[in-house]
């Protein structure tokens, strides 16, 4: 994997915001925290370390294409690098060979959602678990795909089902909070995001999503405080500036912003 010249700091921050703040609602990427093994291990946070991790698992996958663990882990690394089309292609080929492998189907469905193909993701994710053995992470991914399709009520049902299996899971709460934000219920979104971020298992992505919701409400100083948990204050301020730019440019978030006093939402 060749490494490009380092982009400007602002571009790095903006890409991080896009990956962290939008992935949960629009891509359904959720960590499988209740399992063991490298398939479910946390990805490195450092970009260089993540590229090295991806290269290691790419070599393992190419040496043994039938190794499901290597395939899924390599695809997870590609998703972490936002190389969604490549991750989808890797998993599609593997799923064609193992059409009944549920962990493989779960990974494939999540990658499809990441790639902006929610209808296909739904079809695959339905086969990735069964009613008698539901998987909380698949339910959360189904919720994220439903959010992509604009079915926020249906998405909430999926998240609620996931939380019954995994009470208090911050990744699911984060998805749920973003779902309420997409549905323009910002007070509810903030309430849920606060719970998600307060959980000891919450990661930087959850906190970034919380900062996004606070920014949608115009609470930029509070958003900077949340972002500063994971970065120096100057970087936190730049991160929130990038979130503001993302909100201004993405119609899904622009339409969810809090309106000034006395304004009425457009219909």
Q: Give domain status of residue 266, yes or no.
A: no
Query: Phi and psi for 250 in degrees, rounded to 5?
Result: -100, 115
Q: Which long-range contacts (CB under 8 A, 24 or more apart) does 7-15 make?
A: 9/238, 10/238, 10/242, 12/47, 13/235, 13/238, 13/239, 13/242, 14/242, 14/245, 14/246, 15/82
Q: What is the pLDDT of residues 47-91, one digit of tens each?
A: 899 999 999 999 999 999 999 999 999 999 999 999 999 999 999
The boundaries of the domain holding residue 171 are 9-250
- In sequence order, which ranges of the chain are alpha helices (DSSP H)? 9-26, 47-63, 68-80, 84-97, 102-114, 118-125, 136-148, 152-165, 170-182, 186-198, 204-216, 220-227, 233-249, 251-254
Q: Give domain status of residue 176, yes or no.
A: yes
Total tally of structural domains belonging to the chain: 1
Q: How far apart are CA 155 and CA 158, in angstroms?
A: 5
pLDDT greater than 50 at residue 105: yes
Q: Give domain status of residue 259, yes or no.
A: no
Q: What is the pLDDT of residues 187-243, one digit of tens each?
A: 999 999 999 999 999 988 899 999 999 999 999 999 999 999 999 999 999 999 999
For residues 70-107, one letter each, b for 16 or more C-beta atoms within 10 angstroms of the residue's C-beta and e for the rest, the string is bbbbbbbbbbbbbbbebbbebbeebbeeeeebebbbbb
Q: Give domain status of residue 199, yes or no.
A: yes
DSSP 133: B
Rg of the Cα trace of the chain?
18
For residues 128-147, one letter each, b for 16 or more C-beta atoms within 10 angstroms of the residue's C-beta and e for the rest, the string is bbeeeeebbbbbbbbbbbbb
Q: Give domain status of residue 264, yes or no.
A: no
Q: Give domain status of residue 29, yes or no.
A: yes
Q: Give domain status of residue 261, yes or no.
A: no
Q: What is the pLDDT of residues 2-44, one digit of tens each?
A: 344 434 444 445 444 444 444 443 433 444 433 333 456 678 8
CATH code: domain of residue 93: 1.25.40.10
Q: Give domain status of residue 265, yes or no.
A: no
CB atoms within 10 A of CB 254: 12
């Amino acid at each position: 994997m060749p490494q490009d010249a380092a982009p400007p700091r602002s571009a790095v921050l903006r890409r991080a915001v896009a990956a962290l703040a939008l992935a949960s609602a629009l891509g359904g990427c959720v960590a499988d925290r209740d399992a063991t093994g490298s398939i479910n291990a946390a990805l490195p946070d450092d970009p260089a370390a993540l590229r090295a991790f991806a290269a290691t698992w790419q070599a393992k996958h190419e040496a043994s294409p039938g190794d499901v663990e290597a395939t899924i882990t390599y695809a997870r690394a590609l998703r972490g690098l936002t190389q969604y089309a490549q991750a989808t292609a890797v998993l599609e080929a593997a799923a064609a060979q193992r059409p009944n492998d549920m962990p493989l189907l779960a990974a494939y469905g999540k990658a499809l959602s990441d790639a902006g193909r929610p209808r296909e993701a739904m079809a695959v994710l339905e086969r990735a678990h069964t009613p008698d053995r539901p998987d909380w992470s698949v339910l959360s991914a189904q919720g994220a795909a439903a959010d992509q399709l604009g079915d926020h009520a249906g998405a909430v049902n999926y998240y609620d089902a996931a939380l019954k299996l995994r009470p208090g899971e911050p990744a699911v709460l984060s998805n749920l909070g973003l779902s309420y934000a997409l549905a323009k219920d910002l007070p509810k979104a903030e309430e849920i995001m606060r719970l998600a971020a307060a959980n000891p298992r919450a990661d930087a992505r959850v906190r970034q999503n919380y900062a996004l919701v606070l920014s949608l409400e115009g609470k930029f100083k509070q958003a900077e405080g949340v972002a500063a948990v994971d970065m120096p204050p100057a970087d936190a301020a730049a991160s929130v500036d990038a979130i503001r730019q993302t909100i201004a440019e993405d119609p899904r978030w622009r339409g969810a912003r809090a309106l000034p006093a006395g304004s009425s939402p457009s219909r």
